[in-house]
Amino acid sequence: MQAAVALADADGIESLSMRKLARDLGVEAMSLYYHVKSKDDILDGMIESVIDEMALPAADAEWKSALGERAESARRVLGRHPWAISMVDQRTTPTTMRHLDTVIGCLRHAGFSIAMAAHAMSLLDSYVHGFALQEASLPLDESGDIGATTEDILAQQGMTAAFPHLAEMGVELILQPGYAYGNEFAFGLRVILDGLEAAFTAEARSRA
């Protein structure tokens, strides 16, 4: 599956075909069918390979730091494999199910109700996948900087007057030394985890 993942990383998931994969492996396309039933089997295996790269919490881990580490890990992994962002939730495999089950187990061990665990997973995964999609879509340079694009936009005649608030953000934030869009992830993650902690505490008090 590593060859298929490497092919998708380099050229996008649209480039993946049995013929191209066979060529990269140095075999005939038909010989692949001795190992897999269809392209769907390959896609499932690719997603399992990506999921395996993501950090998983131990069952008895402190939930807040464990989920934070998982979120940061998932974002890094999806950044390496942007083609997988739209596929992670589409394909159900033993590996994806085991990953989700482990996260639920960590939350349940910490005292989360099933409903609150579902809220936590939905909120965090939506944020991670959405942020990863934005990073893959924005015109960022290799360092994660969007400054060059911002400068080009602000240099267009009339842009500052037409969009003063965007111009203010560009000049006072984005174009300042050290700014990188990726740094926004930590802020959002902290807000979400703090909010979940408050909701979890309130739920626990209501049951006491």
Tens of pLDDT along the chain (208 residues) come to 788 888 889 888 888 876 777 677 666 656 666 566 677 888 898 899 999 999 999 988 999 999 999 999 999 999 999 999 989 988 889 999 999 999 999 999 999 999 999 999 999 999 999 999 999 988 777 767 788 888 888 888 888 899 999 999 999 998 888 888 888 999 999 999 999 999 999 998 888 7
Q: How far apart are CA 13 and CA 43, in angstroms?
A: 9
Tell me the pTM: 0.85
User: Which DSSP helix (H) or strand (E) runs through 45?
Assistant: helix 39-52
Q: Are 47 and 85 in contact (CB under 8 A)?
A: no
Please spell the DSSP secondary structure of 134-184, one letter per residue: HHHHS---TTS--HHHHHHHHHSTTHHHH-HHHHHHIIIIITSTT--GGGH
Separation of alpha carbons 108 and 180, rounded Å: 36
- The CATH superfamily assigned to 2-145+180-207 is Tetracycline Repressor, domain 2 (1.10.357.10)
What DSSP designation does 111 have?
T
Rg, C-alpha atoms of the chain: 21
Q: Where are the domains of the chain?
A: 2-145+180-207
